[in-house]
Amino acid sequence: MSTKTVPEMFGENVFDDRVMRAVLSDKVYNSLRKTIDEGAKLNTEVAEQVAAAMRDWALSKGATHFTHWFQPLTGVTAEKHDSFIEPSPDGGVIMAFSGKNLIQGEPDASSFPTGGIRATFEARGYTAWDPTSYAFIKDKTLCIPTAFCSYTGEALDKKTPLLRSMEALNKQALRILKLFGNEDAKYVHTSVGPEQEYFLITKEMYDKRPDIKYTGRTLFGAKAPKGQEMDDHYFGVIKPKVQEFMNDLNQELWKLGILAKTEHNEVAPAQHELAPIYSSTNIATDQNQLMMEIMQKVAARHGLVCLLHEKPFAGVNGSGKHNNWSMATDTGANLLSPGDTPSENAQFLLMLCAVIKAVDEYQDLLRLSVATAGNDHRLGANEAPPAIISIFLGDELTAILDSIKNDTPYEGTEKVIMKLGVHSLPRFSRDTTDRNRTSPFAFTGNKFEFRSLGSANSIACCNIMLNAAVAESLQQFADRLEGAADFENELHELIKETIKAHERIIFNGNGYGEEWIEEATKVRGLSNLKTTADAMPHLLDKKNMDMLIAHKVFTESELHSRCEIMLENYCKTINIEGHTMVDMVRKNYLAAIEGYLYSLAKTTSLMKSVSANVKCNYEITTMERLSELTDSINEATTVLEEKLASLVNYDNIIKTSEAMRDEILPAMENLRKYVDEAEMLTSERYWPFPSYGKLLFSVY
């Protein structure tokens, strides 16, 4: 455990602004800041001096290698390490790192998902330094955040489209600000604070569960006697071993400049949450990817395994990653802050309307941006928001919008002072709106919380779509208002028309209720894309492609490739899960049940040999049901095997994904049903894998 204070250790392994000010000349520092802050072109001379300073700093920290750290379309990060050493004439080595090493790398692009953009033999790809995200040291390696593209220039990563989407929003938001007389803001950036949920189990339990090893989740498992019914885990006392893990994790994250802030137990047993302070979306995305990696490494040190899958255990809540999103200027103004009188804050109302319009018109893009095989288990399962996208605004903002829509005065709401009935307790003002945990997209004071994101997902995907959709709304607003003869009147009419056109997306009620599903789809006409197979093809809808291409977030070929890659990932994930189930049944479950049946048969025979009057009702009844179950398990396994084998008959990825949804997943559920029932009838001594009870309550 470090003896340094938090301020002393914070960012000690990051080549951040403090380090750059100290090691770069004023000229080089100012030039680099201009590149970071304003997107100015980086010249070669500056790159050489930055590289030299970065090398010296990294070497002083004990680094021996450098890598271009990037985020390919696998959903995880990638890195290829090169040492700093170069041969010297005297037979020794020097530690070298040039501006070219810093700016550009060349990984093998054919070994990463491309979605058909390039043939397998066309291998060249490039990584390019992203100076807006600070370099850092991890495991004695200087990690340089980079973008990744193909030889022909298409983005093969998540960072490049994210940066493009941020630039698109910045461009349009500045147009709006100028209409309101703001000439001081140089740029508008989006900020994100992603709340990361996760499970912890012991390494001992993990090693005994091949399904968790291969797929990240349990494919079998009868419900434990106790789950989350008592509501005693949420915000409960943190167990000593978990607290040790959290303390160690915080220090590792703080050293990397990650603003780890909040930690607590989540709803399900063995489930926890870590939330950072908000930062620029690009940096937040990089840091969240790094956070997930560090969580798993630190867990291993403590004899634990950190599970990031969205649904590692059936019957208890899964894990999400709430994406808290806002817009702010470089001068520090939050554009989604209502102020004390939101009804009189026209700029805020226009920005709010831009988001409402964006979410309504591109609800399918937001849904598919969080679509994965793992996340499909959460959405609509009454533990996470429904697959239907809607916005929660709360009573005050909804009333304000209604008054504008109907041209009626807004009466306002008084601050309610909370009195708790105990004189020694403080009084405090109640917020003007409650929180709605059933809403996919909820306004929470000065930001929107997109709650549908899965715990293992990169936050880049949903923020790309959100940024781009809001940029489109702002562009349409700016086009109309810039040409207005009477700005004030046109602004009022625009806000009023937007509210009327898109009020269907606003819903402040219970998103878990069946009546909402009915109302949303049949009355309001909102989309209900329940699975990845349903959602992902909409990426290629004309309206979506036109918008994303127009704002230069994606090219047409990049959109087609991403649709292909995401559906392939969905299919491959389920295919691995199906084969894992078959493997576990054939090699373990059937043999275990047969072993217990044999034991019961021997016991019954022995008891009857002692006395003919012994009935052996328990043994006989159990044997009969287990015998039936072994037949059902065998038949269900055979059906699953046949369906998996038939996948080769589908000639495109959309048909394959539909087969996964309609054929493979139901066959897997059917097989699990029989195995889980058999678990409840079989002696624990014979059962081959740890139970849910042991998994969920293994950490103390």
689 or 338: which carries more pLDDT confidence? 689
Rounded CA Rg of the chain = 28
Q: In this model, does residue 95 exceed pLDDT 50?
A: yes
Q: In this model, does residue 435 exceed pLDDT 80?
A: no
Measured CA to CA, the distance from residue 204 to residue 695 in angstroms comes to: 10
pLDDT digits (tens, 9 = 90+) for 214-243: 999 999 999 999 999 888 999 999 999 999
Residues 125 and 200 in one domain: no
The CATH number of residue 334's host domain is 3.30.590.10
Residues 511 and 629 in one domain: no
Residues 489 and 576 in one domain: no
What SS3 state is found at 338?
A: coil
Residues 586 and 543 in one domain: no
The CATH number of residue 35's host domain is 3.10.20.70
- The owner of tokens 């960012």 is 11
Residue 416 lies in a domain: no
- Bridge partners of 128, per DSSP, are 104, 147
At 167, the amino acid letter reads E
- DSSP letters, 116-177, are TSS-TT--BEEEEE-TTS--EEETTEEEEEEEEEETTS-B-BSHHHHHHHHHHHHHHHHHHH
Q: In this model, does residue 104 exceed pLDDT 50?
A: yes
Measured CA to CA, the distance from residue 225 to residue 209 in angstroms comes to: 20
Helix, strand and coil in the chain, % to nearest 5: 50, 15, 35
Tokens of 537: 């093809």
What SS3 state is found at 195?
A: strand
What single DSSP character describes residue 368?
H
Residues 133 and 282 in one domain: no
Q: In this model, does residue 363 exceed pLDDT 50?
A: yes
What pLDDT does 427 receive?
57
The CATH number of residue 594's host domain is 1.20.120.1560
What SS3 state is found at 263?
A: strand
For residues 578 and 664, is the Cβ–Cβ distance under 8 A? yes
Measured CA to CA, the distance from residue 222 to residue 687 in angstroms comes to: 12
Half-sphere exposure of 628 (CA within 13 A, CB side): 7
Final residue of a domain: which of 124, 157, 190? Answer: 157
Span of 59-63, 182-186, 691-695 with lowest mean pLDDT: 182-186
pLDDT digits (tens, 9 = 90+) for 666-685: 999 999 999 999 999 999 99
297 or 395: which carries more pLDDT confidence? 297
What pLDDT does 157 receive?
96
Class of residue 429 by CB neighbours under 10 A (exposed 0-12, middle 13-18, buried 19+): exposed
Residue 1 lies in a domain: no
Name the band, by pLDDT with cuts 50, 70 and 90, for residue 396: confident
Span of 409-413, 541-545, 585-589 with lowest mean pLDDT: 409-413
For residues 144 and 68, is the Cβ–Cβ distance under 8 A? yes
Q: In this model, does residue 1 exceed pLDDT 60?
A: no
Final residue of a domain: which of 157, 185, 205? Answer: 157
What pLDDT does 38 receive?
82
Q: What is the mean pLDDT of residues 656-665?
A: 98
What pLDDT does 85 receive?
94
Residue 423 lies in a domain: no
Span of 143-152, 400-409, 517-526 with lowest mean pLDDT: 400-409
Name the band, by pLDDT with cuts 50, 70 and 90, for residue 109: confident
What SS3 state is found at 502?
A: helix
Residue 414 lies in a domain: no
pLDDT digits (tens, 9 = 90+) for 269-285: 999 999 999 999 999 99
Residues 465 and 587 in one domain: no
Tokens of 324: 């808290």
Residues 583 and 622 in one domain: yes
Residues 344 and 459 in one domain: yes
Measured CA to CA, the distance from residue 30 to residue 227 in angstroms comes to: 56
Q: What is the mean pLDDT of residues 471-479?
A: 98
Which H/E stretch holds residue 11? none
Residues 212 and 113 in one domain: no
Q: In this model, does residue 3 exceed pLDDT 90?
A: no
Q: In this model, does residue 428 exceed pLDDT 70?
A: no
What pLDDT does 57 receive?
98
Number of domains in the chain: 3
What pLDDT does 421 receive?
59
What pLDDT does 536 receive?
98
Residues 129 and 70 in one domain: yes
Span of 83-87, 91-95, 176-180, 665-669 with lowest mean pLDDT: 91-95
Residues 192 and 308 in one domain: yes
Q: In this model, does residue 323 exceed pLDDT 70?
A: yes
Length of the chain: 700
Domain hosting 460: range is 165-223+230-409+435-554
Contact residues for 348 (Cβ-Cβ < 8 A; gap 6+): 335, 336, 337, 338, 339, 342
For residues 285 and 158, is the Cβ–Cβ distance under 8 A? yes
Pairing verdict, β 260-265 and 271-276: antiparallel
Provide the mean pLDDT of the chain. 93
Q: In this model, does residue 433 exceed pLDDT 70?
A: no
Final residue of a domain: which of 554, 589, 606? Answer: 554
What SS3 state is found at 69?
A: strand
Residue 240 neighbours by CB distance under 10 Å: 10
What SS3 state is found at 302?
A: coil
Residue 421 lies in a domain: no
Name the band, by pLDDT with cuts 50, 70 and 90, for residue 426: low
Q: What is the mean pLDDT of residues 605-633?
A: 90
Residue 172 lies in a domain: yes
Measured CA to CA, the distance from residue 495 to residue 480 in angstroms comes to: 12
Q: What is the mean pLDDT of residues 344-352?
A: 91
Tokens of 522: 């049949």
Measured CA to CA, the distance from residue 377 to residue 562 in angstroms comes to: 22
- The owner of tokens 């890598």 is 67
Tokens of 561: 């490739």
Residue 538 lies in a domain: yes
Q: In this model, does residue 442 exceed pLDDT 90?
A: yes
Measured CA to CA, the distance from residue 190 to residue 327 in angstroms comes to: 4
What pLDDT does 414 receive?
58
Residues 91 and 170 in one domain: no
pLDDT digits (tens, 9 = 90+) for 149-179: 998 899 999 999 999 999 999 999 999 999 9
Q: In this model, does residue 429 exceed pLDDT 80?
A: no
Residue 174 lies in a domain: yes
For residues 418 and 430, is the Cβ–Cβ distance under 8 A? yes
303: left (phi over 0), alpha (psi -120 to 50) or beta: left
